[in-house]
Each structure stands twice: as C-alpha cells, then as structure tokens.
C-alpha cells in the first residue's frame, strides 16, 4: 500500500490555473476513492478525499486538500 499523495492546500476562491493562469475555478468535493469525471473507479486505489478544482477557462482539473474548519483548542 502506497502513501497517499500529499495534496496542495486549498487555494481559496481565487486560485490560479497551473495551465493558463486564469484566476477562477469551480470547486467540487470528491470523496475518497471517487474518480475524476471520465476516470474508472479502481477499488482500493482511488484518489484521496479532496477538493477538485476545474478551471473555468481551459477546463484543467487539479486536486487540492480539504479546507475544513480549524478545531478550537480549549
Ligand atoms: Zn486554465
């Protein structure tokens, strides 16, 4: 079993597309193992839970880490 790939942090509402430098992208939640559109589901070898970004200009898709609320320490 391989280590899950570390995802880059969530880049917020103004990401920069790595391919065309456009600064707006859609965000889609993907559960662990859920493939990208058009990818085959491979049981046990899927992608981690993540936020999938899709460039609004060129449709390039890349993955970012979840942006969960920080836990309060008391
Ligand atoms: Zn783009």
Task: Please report, rounded to a whole number, the percentage of residues in the chain having pLDDT higher than 90.
Answer: 61
Q: Looking at the domain that runs over 1-37+44-67, which CATH code has it been given? A: 2.20.25
> Which pLDDT belongs to residue 2?
53
pLDDT tens string 11-26: 999 999 999 999 999 9
What residues does each domain of the chain span? 1-37+44-67
- Contacts of residue 58, defined as CB under 8 A and 6 or more positions apart, other chains included, come to 17, 19, 20, 22
CA of 61 to the centre of ligand 1 (A): 8
> Which pLDDT belongs to residue 70?
80
Radius of gyration of the chain (CA): 14
CA of 11 to the centre of ligand 1 (A): 14
pLDDT tens string 30-46: 999 888 878 887 776 77
CA of 16 to the centre of ligand 1 (A): 8
The reported pTM is 0.80
CA of 53 to the centre of ligand 1 (A): 10
d(CA 7, CA 15): 15
> Which pLDDT belongs to residue 9?
95
């Amino acid at each position: 079993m391989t280590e899950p790939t570390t995802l880059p942090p969530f880049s917020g509402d103004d990401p920069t597309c790595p391919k065309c430098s456009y600064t707006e992208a859609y965000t889609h939640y993907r559960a662990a193992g859920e493939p990208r559109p058009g990818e085959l589901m491979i049981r046990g070898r899927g992608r981690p839970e993540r936020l999938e970004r899709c460039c609004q200009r060129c449709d390039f898709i890349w993955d970012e880490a979840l942006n969960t609320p920080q836990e309060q320490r008391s």
